[in-house]
Chain A
Amino acid sequence: MKVSDFLIRTAAAFEEKTAAIHLGRSITYGELYRSSAALAERLRQLGLDPGSRAAILFENSIEYLIAYFAVFMAELVAVPLDTSLAPENLNYMLDDSGAKVFMVQGKYRRQLDKILGDNLSLRLVVSDKPIPVADSLPPAEQILDIIEAAGRIPSLARAAASVVEADDAAHELAAIFYTSGSTGEPKGVMLSHRNLVSNTIATVEYLGLKSDDSVLVILPFYYIYGNSLLLTHVACGGHVVIDNRFMYPEVVLDSLEESRVTGFAGVPSTFMMALSKSTLAKRRLADLKYITQAGGAMAPEITRRLMDACPKQKLWIMYGQTEASPRVTYLPPERLTEKLGSIGIPVPGVQVKILDESGSEVPVGEAGEIAVGGPNVMLGYWNQPEATAEVIRDGWLITGDLARCDEDGYIYVVGRKREIIKAAGHRVSAKEIEERILEDAAVAEAAVFGVPDDILGEAIHAVVVLKPGNKMDEKRLQAWCQRGLAAFKVPRVIRFVESLPKYQTGKVNKMQLKEEVAPDSRESAGRS
C-alpha cells in the first residue's frame, strides 16, 4: 500500500464527500483524485525513474494536496519544502535532494531565480500561476492546464481495486522531510510508504477518528505533524479545513466555530498564544470534540490552563519526531489529570525503551534516553549515512530525548539530551527551568538555554514573554525561580521580549536567541 492509496480508497468509498476546504473553496475526494491523477499522468510522461524526487513549495492549499498525492501516484518521492525558508536554504534542499520536478506556488516567483540557482537537473516546473523561469529550464506549466489537458485516467473503481492491504505497505522511499535542524545543514528525513501508512493507521486508531471527523489545520503540511493531520483525515474519510491565518488568532477561532470542525491541532506556542492573546476561553466551541498537542513539550501549567479553557474537549498530549513518522506516544485524555506532565504510552505497533549510556534498559523511575522501534522508524537521513548511524542502532531510533517511565508504563520527558545545560559542574534541564518560570502567573512564554561562560562553563539564560498588562523584572523572576529550584538552576540572565522567534512550525528558535547573546557559539540550543 502507498500513501496515495489512502486517497484512492476514500475517494472510491466517498466520491462526493468534501476532502478539503480553504477560505471558501472546497474539493471533493473524487475531484481530488482526478486532479492528482491527471497531474501524475503528466509527471509520468517525463519518463523519470521511480523514486525520483519532486519538490513541493506551496502553502497549505488545495493545490498542495493535488501536487502531494500526484507525486506518489507517479511513483516519485515527495520533498515538501518549508515556505518560510530563505531562497538560499531552498536552493540547498533542491540540490541536495536532486529534485527533477519542482512544484512551486506562484507567490514565490520573485525568489525563483535564487531558489533555482544554477539548477540544471529539473525536468519540469509546475505552478498555480504563470511564472517565468530561466531559459535553461523548460517553460513552467500550470496545474489547471495540466488537469484540463489530461487524457484518460484510471477510474476510481479500477484504481481502488489495485490497492493492496496496509500490511503490505511498500518499503520504498515515499518522502523526504527536511528538519530545521539546530546545527549545521538541515537533514532530509527519509520516510517510506510503510513508515507513513503504518503511523497514519495507528494514529487514526488511538484517536478514534471517523469519517464524520474534521480538523482545522493551521500547521504547515510540509511539517510532519501537519502531514499527519492530512493523512489521518484522508485515511478515515474525514476532511481538513485549512486556515493559514493564525497570526490573527481571533480569525482562526472564528473559522474553528464557523467550520464546525471536530478537531484542532497545535504545538505549545499555538496554545500559549491562544491562551494569552485570544478569546479562546470565552468561546463555546460547541462542535469541537478534541484538541491534539505535539511538536514539543508543553509545560504542565499550560496544559492545565488549556484544560480550564476547554473543559468540554478531549485533550490529547502526544510525542513524536519527524524521524518516527512522527507519532511515538500519546496520553489518553481520561488519564491526563492523573498523569499530567507525561507524554503517555506507545502508539499501537510502536515500541519504546528507555536506555542508559550503555544501551541497556533503565529500571522503572530512572531517567534514560528514549529509543523507538517499529514500522514508523525512518529509513535514515538522505545522503548522510554517518548522521543516520548516530541515531539508528540495530533498527532502533535513538531520539535524543531523556525520559523516565512510571510503574504504569507512562513516560515523562525530562529534557533534550542537547538541552542539558552544564552550569558550574551541574547538569541542568532547560525544560525544568522553563516550567518553573511558566508557573508565574505573569508569564506567557519562556525559553531557557545555556550560553558559553568562562567561569561557569555554561551560564543559564532565560528569555521571557509576559502576559499583556503584566510587569516583572529580572530580580523578581529570579527570586521566583529560587523558591522552586535549586540555586544553581536559577537563570543568571533573564531578558524580557515582546515575542520569541519561532520557526514556521511554531517551535521556538532557540538557536537564534542564543546567537543574539553569543554570536560565536555553535553549540546546539535544542532540536526542533
Chain B
Amino acid sequence: MATIDLDTAREELKAFIVEAFLFGDESEAFTGSDSFMGKGIIDSTGVLELISFLEQNYGITVKDEEMVPANLDSIDNLVEYIRRKAG
C-alpha cells in the first residue's frame, strides 16, 4: 500500500467536509480540533458519507466499533485515525 501523506490527507479532508456538508461555503470556518458534532457540521447520515470517503480514498476499512468521535469527530482525529489504520 502506498504511504499516505498525512498533510495532503488533512487538506483533502477539509475540502471534503466543506464541499459535502457546508455546501462549498468556506466562510464557515472550523479548526482542526473543532468537533463536527459540537458545531453541527455532520449528522448521522453524514458520518456514513465520511466513512465512505475514508474507505475509498485511503484504503482503510472502518469497523463498526471504530465509528466513534475519537476517530471521526474532527480533522485532527481523522488524520490520526488514518495514520494508525494505514500503518
A residues neighboring B (CB under 8 Å) = 84, 107, 245-251, 273, 277-279, 498-502, 504
Report yes or no: B48 in contact with A499, Cβ–Cβ below 8 A.
Answer: yes
B87 within 8 A of A: no
Provide the residues of chain B in CB contact with A246, threshold 8 Å. Answer: 44
Give Cα distance in the complex from A526 to B11, angstroms. Answer: 40
B residues neighboring A (CB under 8 Å) = 37, 40, 42-49, 52, 64-65, 67-69, 72-73
Report yes or no: B69 in contact with A279, Cβ–Cβ below 8 A.
Answer: no
Tell me which of B37, B43, B64, B69 contacts A278 (CB under 8 A): B64
Give Cα distance in the complex from A279 to B65, angstroms. Answer: 7
Report yes or no: B67 in contact with A501, Cβ–Cβ below 8 A.
Answer: no
Report yes or no: B72 in contact with A248, Cβ–Cβ below 8 A.
Answer: yes
Interface of chain B, helix or strand or loop or mixed?
Answer: helix
Provide the residues of chain B in CB contact with A248, threshold 8 Å. Answer: 37, 47, 67-69, 72-73
Nearest residue (CB) in A for B42 is A247
Report yes or no: B65 in contact with A250, Cβ–Cβ below 8 A.
Answer: yes
Closest Cβ of chain B to A222, distance in Å, is 15
Closest Cβ of chain B to A58, distance in Å, is 13
Report yes or no: B67 in contact with A249, Cβ–Cβ below 8 A.
Answer: yes
Tell me which of A245, A273, A277, A502 contacts B69 (CB under 8 A): A245
Give Cα distance in the complex from A49 to B44, angstroms. Answer: 41
Nearest residue (CB) in B for A280 is B64
Report yes or no: A498 in contact with B49, Cβ–Cβ below 8 A.
Answer: yes
Report yes or no: A279 in contact with B48, Cβ–Cβ below 8 A.
Answer: no
Report yes or no: A277 in contact with B45, Cβ–Cβ below 8 A.
Answer: no
Provide the residues of chain B in CB contact with A504, threshold 8 Å. Answer: 43
Tell me which of B44, B67, B72 contacts A502 (CB under 8 A): B44
Provide the residues of chain B in CB contact with A278, threshold 8 Å. Answer: 64, 67
**Would A273 and B44 be within 8 Å (CB), given that A248-B69, A498-B49 are in contact?**
yes
| Closest CB pairs A-B (n = 6) | A247-B44, A499-B48, A499-B45, A498-B52, A247-B47, A250-B68
Closest Cβ of chain B to A110, distance in Å, is 9
Give Cα distance in the complex from A279 to B45, angstroms. Answer: 18
Give Cα distance in the complex from A107 to B37, angstroms. Answer: 12
Give Cα distance in the complex from A266 to B25, angstroms. Answer: 33
Closest Cβ of chain B to A322, distance in Å, is 21
Supply 19 A–B pairs (Cβ within 8 Å), ascending by A: A245-B37, A246-B44, A247-B47, A249-B64, A249-B67, A250-B64, A250-B65, A250-B67, A250-B68, A251-B68, A251-B69, A277-B48, A277-B64, A278-B64, A279-B64, A279-B65, A499-B49, A501-B45, A502-B45
Provide the residues of chain A in CB contact with B52, threshold 8 Å. Answer: 498
Provide the residues of chain B in CB contact with A498, threshold 8 Å. Answer: 48-49, 52
Give Cα distance in the complex from A138 to B8, angstroms. Answer: 49
Nearest residue (CB) in A for B49 is A498
Closest Cβ of chain A to B10, distance in Å, is 21
Provide the residues of chain A in CB contact with B43, threshold 8 Å. Answer: 84, 247, 504
Provide the residues of chain A in CB contact with B47, threshold 8 Å. Answer: 247-248
Provide the residues of chain B in CB contact with A279, threshold 8 Å. Answer: 64-65
Closest Cβ of chain A to B67, distance in Å, is 6
Give Cα distance in the complex from A504 to B45, angstroms. Answer: 10
**Would A500 and B45 be within 8 Å (CB), given that A107-B40, A278-B64 are in contact?**
yes
Give Cα distance in the complex from A455 to B65, angstroms. Answer: 48
Report yes or no: B68 in contact with A247, Cβ–Cβ below 8 A.
Answer: no
Closest Cβ of chain A to B43, distance in Å, is 6
Report yes or no: A247 in contact with B64, Cβ–Cβ below 8 A.
Answer: no
Closest Cβ of chain B to A249, distance in Å, is 7
Give Cα distance in the complex from A499 to B45, angstroms. Answer: 6
Give Cα distance in the complex from A499 to B42, angstroms. Answer: 13
Closest Cβ of chain A to B1, distance in Å, is 19
Nearest residue (CB) in B for A269 is B44
Provide the residues of chain B in CB contact with A249, threshold 8 Å. Answer: 64, 67
Closest Cβ of chain A to B27, distance in Å, is 11
Given A279-B64, A502-B45, 7 other A-B contacts at CB below 8 A? A250-B64, A250-B65, A251-B68, A277-B67, A279-B65, A498-B52, A499-B48
Tell me which of A245, A247, A273, A277 contacts B46 (CB under 8 A): A247
Nearest residue (CB) in A for B40 is A107
Closest Cβ of chain B to A411, distance in Å, is 30
Give Cα distance in the complex from A249 to B68, angstroms. Answer: 8
Provide the residues of chain A in CB contact with B46, threshold 8 Å. Answer: 247, 499
Give Cα distance in the complex from A36 to B68, angstroms. Answer: 35
Give Cα distance in the complex from A167 to B20, angstroms. Answer: 52
Closest Cβ of chain B to A471, distance in Å, is 14
Provide the residues of chain B in CB contact with A500, threshold 8 Å. Answer: 45
Provide the residues of chain A in CB contact with B67, threshold 8 Å. Answer: 248-250, 277-278
Nearest residue (CB) in A for B44 is A247
Q: Give the one of A250, A279, A501, A502 with max B CB within 10 A.
A: A250
Q: Give the one of B44, B49, B69, B73 with max A CB within 10 A.
A: B44
Closest Cβ of chain B to A525, distance in Å, is 17
Provide the residues of chain A in CB contact with B65, threshold 8 Å. Answer: 250, 279
Give Cα distance in the complex from A365 to B65, angstroms. Answer: 45
Closest Cβ of chain A to B36, distance in Å, is 9
Closest Cβ of chain B to A106, distance in Å, is 13
Closest Cβ of chain A to B9, distance in Å, is 20
Closest Cβ of chain B to A504, distance in Å, is 8
Closest Cβ of chain A to B5, distance in Å, is 25
